Chain A
Amino acid sequence: MDVQLRNNVKVVGPPGAPVVVLAHGFGCDQNMWRLVVPALAQRHRVVLFDYVGSGGSVLSAWDEDRYSSLDGYARDVTEVCAALDLRDATFVGHSVSAMVGVLAAQSAPERIGGLVMVAPSPRYIDDEGYRGGFTAEDIDELLASLEANYLGWSSAMAPVIMGNPDRPELGNELVNSFCATDPAIARVFARTTFLSDTRDELRQVAVPTLVLECSQDAIAPREVGAYVHAQIAGSQLITLDATGHCPQLSAPEATVQAILAFLETRR
């Protein structure tokens, strides 16, 4: 299957400009980046995509085995990079995608030359000598919350939602459509995300890296940001004055500034 179709790939910005790949995390889709794309696309080629199973991706390409490990998502990234023949791109990953970017950069070093990790966490569940912010019971509770909101998903509406992600005229009827996901797929993504432990991968990072954290993030607390920064040699840590887990939505200007400043150092 055509990877660009499969992953609903969108490319904006001047051809030939340095490439920035924006990867959404668990929950929604590439629309998460809509407030920062215009500023980034002025002087950069911006690549947007949805992981298989999310947003406008081709659901039939989803496979439980593959997407039950972060490596499966990293393969989506490297396959999108290969389909566009990207070289030395900067990968901006939000939330779990920050760690997906770390894995992708390891397997395709020629394609990914820099990482921006937005609100990253290599492990969400507390461990001995490590505080991720959650207990295993908390994650079960999240899965229950997802189950409770399955009711927002209707298999009859799914083709409409999936087939027309860019048709705002459908918006009124399709409230919550940006985050509408097949419940079975969402459950697998949630488990894979929140039960992951990729702390050992951090030391392997060999490309310039910017860690962007929020001052008040219920999912990735400050300690986790500091941990990620400490584990990646030579990384840069910026704490945005933002509340919540999605600075690209709650503090888009500050987020853009930080990303652009990092991109300048890579020119």
Chain B
Amino acid sequence: MCRTGDVDEPFESGSETGTDAAFTALLEDSAEELYEAAPCGYLSTLMDGTIAKINTTLLDWLGMERTSVVGRLRFPDLLTVGGKLYHETHYAPLLRMQGSLRGIALELKTADGGRLPVLVSSQVKFGSEGEPLLIRATVFDASDRRAYEKELLHRRQEAERARAEAEAARRQAEADRGRLADALAVLQQSLVPSSLPAIQGLESAVYYQAASPEQLGGDFYDLFPVDDKRWAFFLGDVCGKGPEAAALTSLTRYTLRAAAVHDPEPQVALRTLNAVLHERYADSGDPRFCTCLFGVVEPDPRTGRALVRLASGGHPSALALRTGGGAELLPTPGGMLIGVLPDARMRTAQTTLNRGDTLLLYTDGLTEARTGPDAGSMLGEDALLSFAAEHAPAAPRELIAALTGLLADATPGPTDDTALLALGVPFTDHAGTADG
């Protein structure tokens, strides 16, 4: 404190006789008395731990007689077994290496079999040559404090256990999710062909993308032979997503396949599908329907032409990209949503693909993709037709690649499933297939 000189010091005006008495009392408190009756334990040991000196306070805490301790016990002898181990593995090495230790938590064994939690600080006394002579230790009663610390430790262990349990639960959930994703992937694969067949005189390409890997897609397509000259193909979109939609997709795909083998006339196949879906869903309280383009193609490698017969059940029209440039919609009149009415009317339309012509079937995932330049407007049918016209002529594989590029630029990314199927007559006669 700085003296300011002109201000009276409060202590100087106090009772001088009282202060003197207190000082006198302090002076009578001998060093010996201070050592023996200090409010903490004192302990001095030889370097091997043999107790050379101990104060009365610590003896009282231990409940031991000086004669049974000094020269007879080593410091570790006062400790619990766990404390002994800690002493040997941490305390003694540290003391040797750094010459001092502070605040080590140990437990002393008392004569009556009790345990006294203490905090110990130790210091090595070195001789004039720097050789270690003895160890001095101060021992503080830490009962209350250790009880509180134990409580904290207990809480922390509980928290750690809870965290471990939460982590285990999270891992389990992750594993479950992985298994579910695997199962969904297998199911999804059963809804579309694993690859397209190679067809003499016809080239094909496909693109299929489910909007999210965790949701089963509602789009479907297929291409398969119905006899040794003709091939059936279809592409469609069931309402909804998820397991119910997948069940509908599966029913649709296998119904169309079976119907086509029985009678490949497109409007007949779609009518069969309509009857099946209507029978299955109309009265179920959960009406479900789909849209679908179904066609039969008969390539003639000899002439380089392919005759296509096509019917639609409420599905967007197919596009034809012509070899001389330009693209056109192929109107499929009279098509109604499949599965809504007991008796759907459809008519079959017909077109011929010449060398270099390509037919495109798509689901609304393409026309509703937000590819527009002005903040994500939808592509729409008109723009798709323009896009196709700009790219004509284009072989199936090129067309699918161009459309895939268009979809890749959509922002935000795909929000609906998208299926694209392109069939074309190649300029050369070799058979070709390509999966998108």
- Does B230 touch A at the CB level, under 8 Å? no
In the complex, number of A-B residue pairs with CB atoms less than 8 Å apart:
114
**B88 an interface residue at 8 Å Cβ cutoff?**
yes
Residues of B within 8 A of A140 (CB): 82
Within 8 A of A (CB), among B52-110: 74, 76, 80-90, 92-94, 96-98, 100-107
Residues of B within 8 A of A218 (CB): 76, 84-85, 87-88
The answer to whether A178 and B105 have CB atoms under 8 Å apart is no
Tell me if B89 and A245 are in contact (CB < 8 A): yes
Partner of B85, one of A31, A34, A151, A219: A219
Instruction: Judge whether B146 is part of the interface by a CB distance below 8 angstroms.
Output: yes
> Which of B47, B74, B81 is the one whose CB lies under 8 Å from A138?
B81
With A151-B105, A179-B94 already in contact, the answer to whether A250 and B47 are too (CB < 8 A) is: yes
Our pick among B86, B97, B105 for the contact of A31 (Cβ within 8 Å) is: B97
The distance from the CB of B136 to the nearest CB of chain A, in whole angstroms, is 16
Tell whether B48 is near chain A: CB-to-CB under 8 Å: yes
In the complex, the answer to whether B103 meets A246 with C-beta atoms within 8 Å is no
A178-B93, A244-B48, A250-B96 known; A146-B86 Cβ under 8 A: yes
Task: Mark interface residues in A139-171 (1 if CB within 8 Å of B CB, else 0).
Answer: 111111111111110000000000000000001
When chains A and B are docked, how far (Å) is the Cα of A29 from the Cα of B47? Answer: 21
A107 contacts B by Cβ under 8 Å: no
- By the criterion CB–CB under 8 Å, are B153 and A147 in contact? yes
- In the complex, what residues of A have CB within 8 A of residue B117's CB? 148
Partner of B88 from A143, A146, A176, A219 at Cβ < 8 Å: A219
Q: How far is the CA of A74 from the CA of B162 in the complex (A)?
A: 33
- Tell me which residues across on chain A come within 8 A of B85, comparing CB atoms: 134, 138-139, 141-142, 145, 194, 218-219
Q: Are A149 and B104 in contact (CB under 8 A)?
A: yes
- In contact, B93 and A149 (Cβ under 8 angstroms): no
B153 touches A150 (CB 8 A): yes
Give the shortest distance, in Å, between A126 (CB) and chain B (any CB). 12
Residues of B within 8 A of A25 (CB): 89
Report the Cα distance A224→B83, complex, angstroms.
21
Interface string of A207-249 (1 = CB under 8 A from B): 0000000001111000000000000000000000001111001
Q: Closest Cβ of chain A: how far from B90's Cβ, in Å?
A: 5
Judged by a CB distance under 8 angstroms, whether B182 is at the interface is no
A145 contacts B86, CB within 8 Å? yes
CA of A219 to CA of B87, assembled, Å? 10
**Is A175's CB within 8 Å of the partner chain B?**
yes
User: In the complex, A39→B85 CA distance in Å?
Assistant: 29
Q: Which residues of chain A are within 8 angstroms of B214 by Cβ–Cβ distance?
A: none
Which B residues from 255 to 291 make CB contacts under 8 A with A? none
User: Is the Cβ of A32 less than 8 Å from the Cβ of B89?
Assistant: no
CA A175 to CA B105, docked complex, whole Å: 14
Interface residue tally of chain B, by bracket? 35 or more
Task: Tell me the complex Cα distance, A35–B96, Å.
Answer: 10
Name B77's closest neighbour in chain A (CB-CB): A218
B89 touches A27 (CB 8 A): yes
B74→A243 contact, CB < 8 A? yes
Say which residue of A134, A149, A151 sits within 8 Å of B86 (CB atoms): A149
Q: Chain A contacts of B149 at CB under 8 A?
A: 148, 151
Task: Assess whether B49 is interfacial by the CB under 8 Å rule.
Answer: yes
B76, B83, B96: the one within 8 Å of A145 (CB) = B83
Q: Is A26 an interface residue (CB 8 A)?
A: yes
Interface set, chain B 336-358, CB cutoff 8 A to A: none
Is A3 located at the chain interface by the 8 A CB criterion?
no
Shortest distance in angstroms between A213's beta carbon and chain B's nearest beta carbon? 14
Chain B residue nearest to A242 in the complex (CB)? B48
Query: Which residue from B81, B92, B150 sits with its C-beta under 8 Å from A134?
Result: B81
User: Considering the chains assembled together, what is the distance between the CA atoms of A95 and B92 in angstroms?
Assistant: 14
Query: Which chain B residues border A148 with CB–CB below 8 Å?
Result: 105-106, 117, 146, 149-150, 153
Specify which chain A residues have a CB less than 8 angstroms from the CB of B97 in the assembled complex.
28, 31-32, 34, 178, 249
Q: For residue A146, which residues in chain B have a CB less than 8 angstroms away from its CB?
A: 86
Please tell me if the beta carbons of A152 and B103 are within 8 angstroms of each other in the complex: yes
Asked if A176 and B76 make an inter-chain contact with CB atoms under 8 angstroms apart, the answer reads: no
- Taken together as a complex, chains A and B put the C-alpha atoms of A28 and B84 apart, in Å, by 16
User: In the complex, which residues of chain A have a beta carbon less than 8 angstroms from the beta carbon of B150?
Assistant: 148
CB distance from B87 to the nearest CB of A (A): 8
Task: Report how far A246 CA is from B85 CA in the complex, Å.
Answer: 12
Q: How far is the CA of A246 from the CA of B88 in the complex (A)?
A: 8
B49 contacts A244, C-beta separation under 8 Å: yes
| Inter-chain contacts of B96 with A (CB < 8 A) | 35, 246, 249-250
Min CB distance B146 to A, Å, is 7
Chain A residues close to B by CB (< 8 Å) = 25-28, 31-32, 34-35, 95, 134, 138-152, 171, 175-176, 178-179, 194, 216-219, 243-246, 249-250
Sorted from nearest, which 6 A-B pairs have the closest CB atoms?
A141-B82, A27-B89, A243-B48, A148-B105, A245-B88, A138-B81
